[in-house]
Protein backbone atom coordinates (compact mmCIF):
# COMPACT_ATOMS: atom_id res chain seq x y z
CA UNK A 1 0.00 0.00 0.00
CA UNK A 2 2.86 2.38 0.82
CA UNK A 3 4.31 1.83 -2.69
CA UNK A 4 1.05 2.88 -4.31
CA UNK A 5 0.84 6.04 -2.20
CA UNK A 6 4.40 7.04 -3.04
CA UNK A 7 3.62 6.60 -6.75
CA UNK A 8 0.25 8.37 -6.54
CA UNK A 9 1.41 11.71 -8.04
CA UNK A 10 2.89 9.87 -11.03
CA UNK A 11 -0.24 7.77 -11.45
CA UNK A 12 -2.47 10.85 -11.33
CA UNK A 13 -0.24 12.67 -13.80
CA UNK A 14 -0.34 9.68 -16.17
CA UNK A 15 -4.15 9.54 -15.93
CA UNK A 16 -4.42 13.26 -16.68
CA UNK A 17 -2.02 12.96 -19.64
CA UNK A 18 -4.01 9.98 -20.92
CA UNK A 19 -7.24 11.97 -20.50
CA UNK A 20 -5.73 14.87 -22.45
CA UNK A 21 -4.77 12.56 -25.31
CA UNK A 22 -8.28 11.11 -25.37
CA UNK A 23 -9.79 14.60 -25.35
CA UNK A 24 -7.67 15.66 -28.33
CA UNK A 25 -8.53 12.42 -30.14
CA UNK A 26 -12.26 12.96 -29.65
CA UNK A 27 -11.85 16.64 -30.55
CA UNK A 28 -10.55 15.49 -33.94
CA UNK A 29 -13.78 13.57 -34.53
CA UNK A 30 -15.86 16.54 -33.30
CA UNK A 31 -14.22 19.12 -35.56
CA UNK A 32 -14.33 16.86 -38.63
CA UNK A 33 -17.99 16.01 -38.02
CA UNK A 34 -19.09 19.61 -37.47
CA UNK A 35 -17.10 20.86 -40.47
CA UNK A 36 -18.66 18.11 -42.55
CA UNK A 37 -22.21 19.04 -41.63
CA UNK A 38 -22.81 16.01 -39.40
CA UNK A 39 -24.82 16.69 -36.25
CA UNK A 40 -22.92 15.89 -33.04
CA UNK A 41 -25.45 15.07 -30.34
CA UNK A 42 -23.04 14.67 -27.43
CA UNK A 43 -19.33 15.15 -26.76
CA UNK A 44 -17.87 14.02 -23.47
CA UNK A 45 -14.51 13.52 -21.83
CA UNK A 46 -14.05 10.95 -19.10
CA UNK A 47 -16.26 8.14 -17.85
CA UNK A 48 -18.68 7.72 -14.99
CA UNK A 49 -20.93 10.32 -13.37
CA UNK A 50 -21.30 13.71 -15.06
CA UNK A 51 -19.49 16.54 -13.24
CA UNK A 52 -20.44 19.29 -15.68
CA UNK A 53 -22.78 19.47 -18.64
CA UNK A 54 -23.86 22.27 -20.96
CA UNK A 55 -25.51 22.47 -24.35
CA UNK A 56 -23.96 24.77 -26.94
CA UNK A 57 -25.92 24.89 -30.17
CA UNK A 58 -27.05 21.37 -30.98
CA UNK A 59 -24.34 19.59 -28.98
CA UNK A 60 -24.33 18.62 -25.30
CA UNK A 61 -20.81 18.80 -23.82
CA UNK A 62 -19.97 16.83 -20.66
CA UNK A 63 -17.07 16.39 -18.30
CA UNK A 64 -17.19 13.14 -16.36
CA UNK A 65 -15.51 12.01 -13.15
CA UNK A 66 -12.87 9.52 -14.34
CA UNK A 67 -10.28 11.00 -16.76
CA UNK A 68 -10.26 7.92 -18.97
CA UNK A 69 -12.30 7.54 -22.12
CA UNK A 70 -14.56 9.89 -23.98
CA UNK A 71 -16.95 9.98 -26.90
CA UNK A 72 -18.21 12.01 -29.81
CA UNK A 73 -21.77 10.79 -30.40
CA UNK A 74 -23.07 11.70 -33.85
CA UNK A 75 -26.62 11.47 -35.10
CA UNK A 76 -27.15 8.37 -37.21
CA UNK A 77 -23.98 6.52 -36.21
CA UNK A 78 -26.12 3.43 -35.89
CA UNK A 79 -27.63 4.09 -39.33
CA UNK A 80 -31.19 4.62 -38.04
CA UNK A 81 -31.54 8.36 -38.71
CA UNK A 82 -33.09 9.77 -41.85
CA UNK A 83 -31.79 13.31 -41.21
CA UNK A 84 -29.59 14.77 -43.92
CA UNK A 85 -27.18 15.79 -41.13
CA UNK A 86 -26.69 12.23 -39.86
CA UNK A 87 -23.41 10.36 -40.00
CA UNK A 88 -24.99 7.58 -42.03
CA UNK A 89 -26.20 10.01 -44.74
CA UNK A 90 -22.81 11.73 -45.15
CA UNK A 91 -20.76 10.86 -48.23
CA UNK A 92 -18.32 7.98 -47.81
CA UNK A 93 -15.30 10.26 -48.09
CA UNK A 94 -16.67 12.53 -45.34
CA UNK A 95 -17.39 9.57 -43.04
CA UNK A 96 -13.87 8.24 -43.59
CA UNK A 97 -12.41 11.64 -42.74
CA UNK A 98 -14.47 11.84 -39.54
CA UNK A 99 -13.34 8.38 -38.44
CA UNK A 100 -9.66 9.03 -39.30
CA UNK A 101 -9.63 12.52 -37.72
CA UNK A 102 -9.20 11.12 -34.20
CA UNK A 103 -6.11 9.11 -35.11
CA UNK A 104 -4.80 12.06 -37.13
CA UNK A 105 -5.03 14.24 -34.02
CA UNK A 106 -2.96 11.66 -32.13
CA UNK A 107 -0.27 11.81 -34.83
CA UNK A 108 -0.27 15.61 -34.70
CA UNK A 109 0.06 15.59 -30.90
CA UNK A 110 2.90 13.06 -31.15
CA UNK A 111 4.66 15.21 -33.73
CA UNK A 112 4.31 18.31 -31.53
CA UNK A 113 5.68 16.42 -28.53
CA UNK A 114 8.70 15.31 -30.57
CA UNK A 115 9.22 18.89 -31.81
CA UNK A 116 9.07 20.16 -28.25
CA UNK A 117 11.54 17.54 -26.98
CA UNK A 118 14.01 18.01 -29.83
CA UNK A 119 13.79 21.83 -30.00
CA UNK A 120 16.09 22.42 -33.01
CA UNK A 121 17.23 25.83 -31.73
CA UNK A 122 18.31 24.49 -28.36
CA UNK A 123 21.95 25.03 -27.33
CA UNK A 124 22.64 21.29 -27.55
CA UNK A 125 21.57 21.14 -31.23
CA UNK A 126 18.13 19.79 -30.48
CA UNK A 127 18.86 16.44 -28.93
CA UNK A 128 18.65 14.97 -25.48
CA UNK A 129 22.38 14.69 -25.01
CA UNK A 130 24.66 12.45 -23.02
CA UNK A 131 26.84 14.69 -20.86
CA UNK A 132 29.07 13.13 -18.23
CA UNK A 133 28.39 14.38 -14.73
CA UNK A 134 31.32 12.56 -13.21
CA UNK A 135 34.10 10.12 -14.12
CA UNK A 136 35.07 7.52 -11.53
CA UNK A 137 38.76 8.01 -10.63
CA UNK A 138 39.41 4.25 -10.65
CA UNK A 139 37.81 3.70 -14.09
CA UNK A 140 39.86 3.08 -17.25
CA UNK A 141 38.27 6.20 -18.80
CA UNK A 142 39.49 8.49 -15.99
CA UNK A 143 42.49 9.76 -17.96
CA UNK A 144 40.61 10.35 -21.22
CA UNK A 145 37.18 11.63 -20.15
CA UNK A 146 36.32 14.55 -17.90
CA UNK A 147 33.14 15.64 -16.12
CA UNK A 148 31.17 17.93 -18.44
CA UNK A 149 32.22 16.09 -21.62
CA UNK A 150 29.36 15.53 -24.03
CA UNK A 151 29.75 12.18 -25.76
CA UNK A 152 29.21 12.56 -29.53
CA UNK A 153 30.47 9.23 -30.95
CA UNK A 154 31.69 5.87 -29.74
CA UNK A 155 33.58 3.86 -32.38
CA UNK A 156 31.84 5.93 -35.08
CA UNK A 157 28.37 5.31 -33.61
CA UNK A 158 26.53 8.65 -33.15
CA UNK A 159 25.32 9.35 -29.63
CA UNK A 160 22.10 11.38 -29.49
CA UNK A 161 20.86 10.35 -26.05
CA UNK A 162 22.01 8.37 -23.01
CA UNK A 163 20.62 5.07 -24.30
CA UNK A 164 22.75 5.35 -27.46
CA UNK A 165 25.89 5.39 -25.28
CA UNK A 166 24.94 2.06 -23.70
CA UNK A 167 24.16 0.61 -27.14
CA UNK A 168 27.51 1.75 -28.53
CA UNK A 169 29.41 0.19 -25.63
CA UNK A 170 27.50 -3.07 -26.06
CA UNK A 171 28.39 -3.13 -29.78
CA UNK A 172 32.11 -2.92 -29.00
CA UNK A 173 34.23 -5.94 -29.84
CA UNK A 174 36.73 -5.40 -27.03
CA UNK A 175 37.25 -3.07 -24.08
CA UNK A 176 38.94 -0.35 -26.15
CA UNK A 177 36.79 2.41 -27.67
CA UNK A 178 37.39 5.46 -29.81
CA UNK A 179 35.24 8.16 -28.20
CA UNK A 180 34.63 11.64 -29.61
CA UNK A 181 33.45 14.20 -27.07
CA UNK A 182 32.61 17.89 -27.04
CA UNK A 183 34.75 19.61 -24.41
CA UNK A 184 34.74 23.38 -23.91
CA UNK A 185 33.03 23.82 -27.29
CA UNK A 186 35.61 21.75 -29.19
CA UNK A 187 35.53 18.20 -30.54
CA UNK A 188 38.16 16.05 -28.80
Residues with catalytic function: 26
3 state SS of 106: helix
In order of 17, 31, 51, 69, 117, the CA distances from 112 in angstroms are 15, 19, 30, 22, 9
Sheet with 150-154, side-by-side order of all strands: 157-158, 150-154, 179-183, 186-187
DSSP string across 51-105:
EEEEEETTEEEEEEEEEEEEEEEETTTTS----TTSGGGS-HHHHHHHHHHHHHH
Amino acid sequence: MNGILSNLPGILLALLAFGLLIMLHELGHLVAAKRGGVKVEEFWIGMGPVLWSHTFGETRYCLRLLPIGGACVMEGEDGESESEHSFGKAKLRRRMLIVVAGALMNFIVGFLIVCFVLQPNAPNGGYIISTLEAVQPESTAAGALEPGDTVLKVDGYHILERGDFDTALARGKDSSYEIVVKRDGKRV
